[in-house]
């Protein structure tokens, strides 16, 4: 189901800005908010939500001159009333120009001078100094999303390294890229796509855990941003022990995630507090066949088997921690023998006259 959410984008200047606004390439900035360009704000949110949100019909207006000077603006994180006032001023300036704002889902105020950057339900404020990646996050707030976090720093916002709702800090990493309209990406982490109600059921593999131990499952994951993916794109598992958390596993590579270099199998938790927490992952799975990520708290491991489809699909195995430990013996043995790839390893490891892979492995790793 598609929800039409066209935004009115009001390009505004304070009445004492007599200089900065003339230096801004208005058509280019307007295209960022309204254009069908592959790397515009509407295409980002349409891609992130698998077209559940439709931003076509977004329209830009301006320049509009506010009946205020720059110093009249006193909005801040501590003064949210002051922030909302700016949106009121901008909407009034638009209505004074006979612009009908009633058909629009929300309002973006773009200021010509460094003013502020924030988002709240159906409202975005940004300015000429705001990177596109940061504006994408404010749209996320406009659609009701919170910042994302990490298991390793659970009270700190902006600590998920692969989620737009952690920009521009991303826990100290940089998953963005230089796009048509400046610094852009990465995608929204899949727990928040799900929270928004935008994750189609047929893109998700739900793996049974009985609350504590996942069923061993080998599966293909297409990259999260692929709009016509031939495989599932998210694996989801629910745990009730040691505490309540739903896990999401995704493959992040290419497209809006092309700034995530190297590519990553990323693992997130969604907790009952409504926040998404980055739990970890396998960085550079293209060179990591057989490598596992083991969760430090939950009985969960993820193993990369191989990458196919020119880097767009990862084959992974999800299971309890013991599954990864059992594999690591096999991996070590394969490494000792310089075997290439997982195929045929069994046949190459088995010693003549020994029908037990385990005893052959133990002999090998103890050599
Ligand atoms: Zn934010």
Q: In the chain, which residues have pLDDT < 50?
A: none
Cβ–Cβ < 8 Å for 323, 214: no
Q: Look up the domain containing 91 and give its range.
A: 3-143
Strand ranges (E), 154-216: 177-179, 182-184, 204-211
What pLDDT, in 10s, does the model give residues 180-229?
999 999 999 999 999 999 999 999 999 999 999 999 999 999 999 999 99
Q: Ligand 1: distance of its center to the CA of 69 in Å?
A: 26
- The answer to whether the pTM exceeds 0.75 is yes
Q: Ligand 1: distance of its center to the CA of 138 in Å?
A: 6
In this prediction, residue 303 carries a pLDDT of: 95
Q: Ligand 1: distance of its center to the CA of 44 in Å?
A: 17
Q: Ligand 1: distance of its center to the CA of 335 in Å?
A: 45
In this prediction, residue 290 carries a pLDDT of: 84
In this prediction, residue 345 carries a pLDDT of: 62
Residues 24 and 110 in one domain: yes
Q: Ligand 1: distance of its center to the CA of 39 in Å?
A: 20
Residues 256 and 212 in one domain: yes
Nearest to 302 by CA among 314, 327, 319: 319
In this prediction, residue 108 carries a pLDDT of: 98
Domain presence at residue 217: yes
Q: Ligand 1: distance of its center to the CA of 133 in Å?
A: 11
In this prediction, residue 333 carries a pLDDT of: 62
Domain presence at residue 162: no
Total count of residues recorded for the chain: 367
Q: Ligand 1: distance of its center to the CA of 56 in Å?
A: 23
Q: Ligand 1: distance of its center to the CA of 36 in Å?
A: 25
Cβ–Cβ < 8 Å for 272, 293: no
Q: Ligand 1: distance of its center to the CA of 135 in Å?
A: 9
Q: Ligand 1: distance of its center to the CA of 230 in Å?
A: 33
Q: Ligand 1: distance of its center to the CA of 223 in Å?
A: 25
User: Around 189, how many Cα atoms within 13 Å sit in the side-chain half-sphere?
Assistant: 37
User: Around 224, how many Cα atoms within 13 Å sit in the side-chain half-sphere?
Assistant: 34
Which residue is associated with the tokens 């929204």? Answer: 188
In this prediction, residue 289 carries a pLDDT of: 82
In this prediction, residue 337 carries a pLDDT of: 67
Domain presence at residue 184: no
Residues 111 and 135 in one domain: yes
Structure-token pair, residue 270: 């969604």
d(C-alpha 28, C-alpha 32), whole Å = 7
Nearest to 184 by CA among 284, 44, 47: 44
Residues 122 and 254 in one domain: no
User: Around 350, how many Cα atoms within 13 Å sit in the side-chain half-sphere?
Assistant: 9
Q: Ligand 1: distance of its center to the CA of 121 in Å?
A: 12
Residues 340 and 305 in one domain: no
Work out how many domains the chain is built from and give that number.
3
Domain presence at residue 176: no
d(C-alpha 304, C-alpha 165), whole Å = 26
In this prediction, residue 278 carries a pLDDT of: 98
Strand ranges (E), the chain: 3-4, 7-13, 53-54, 59-65, 106-111, 118-120, 123-127, 149-150, 177-179, 182-184, 204-211, 217-222, 234-239, 245-252, 264-270, 276-283, 292-294, 301-308, 313-319
């Amino acid at each position: 189901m598609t929800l039409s959410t066209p935004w009115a984008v009001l390009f505004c200047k304070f009445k004492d800005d007599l200089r900065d606004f003339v230096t801004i390439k208005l058509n280019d900035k307007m295209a960022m908010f309204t254009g069908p360009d592959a790397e515009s704000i509407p295409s980002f949110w349409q891609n992130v939500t698998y077209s559940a949100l439709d931003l076509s019909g977004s329209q830009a207006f301006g320049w509009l001159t506010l009946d205020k000077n720059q110093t009249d603006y006193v909005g801040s994180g501590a003064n949210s009333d002051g922030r909302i006032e700016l949106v009121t001023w901008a909407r009034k300036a638009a209505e004074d120009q006979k612009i009908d704002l009633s058909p629009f889902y929300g309002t973006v105020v773009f200021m010509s001078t460094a003013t502020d950057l924030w988002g709240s339900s159906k409202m975005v404020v940004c300015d000429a100094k705001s990177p596109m990646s940061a504006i994408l996050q404010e749209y996320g707030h406009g659609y009701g999303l919170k910042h994302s976090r990490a298991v390793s720093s659970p009270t700190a916002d902006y600590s998920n390294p692969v989620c737009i709702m952690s920009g521009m800090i991303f826990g100290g990493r940089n998953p963005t890229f230089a796009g048509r309209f400046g610094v852009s990406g990465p995608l929204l982490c899949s727990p928040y796509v799900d929270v928004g109600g935008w994750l189609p059921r047929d893109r998700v593999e739900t793996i049974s855990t009985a609350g504590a131990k996942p069923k061993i499952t080998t599966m293909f994951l297409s990259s999260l941003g692929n709009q016509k993916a031939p495989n599932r794109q998210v694996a989801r598992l629910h745990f009730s022990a040691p505490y309540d958390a739903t896990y999401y596993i995704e493959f992040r590579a290419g497209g809006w995630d092309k700034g995530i270099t190297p590519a990553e199998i990323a693992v997130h938790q969604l907790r009952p507090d409504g926040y998404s927490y980055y739990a970890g992952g396998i960085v550079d799975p293209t060179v990591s066949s057989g490598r596992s990520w083991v969760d430090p708290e939950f009985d969960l491991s993820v193993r990369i088997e191989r990458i196919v489809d020119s880097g767009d699909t990862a084959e992974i195995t999800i299971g309890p921690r013991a599954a990864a430990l059992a594999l690591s013996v096999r991996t070590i043995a394969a490494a000792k023998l310089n075997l290439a790839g997982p195929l045929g390893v069994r046949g190459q490891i088995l010693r003549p006259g020994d029908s037990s892979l385990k005893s052959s492995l133990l002999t090998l790793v103890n050599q």
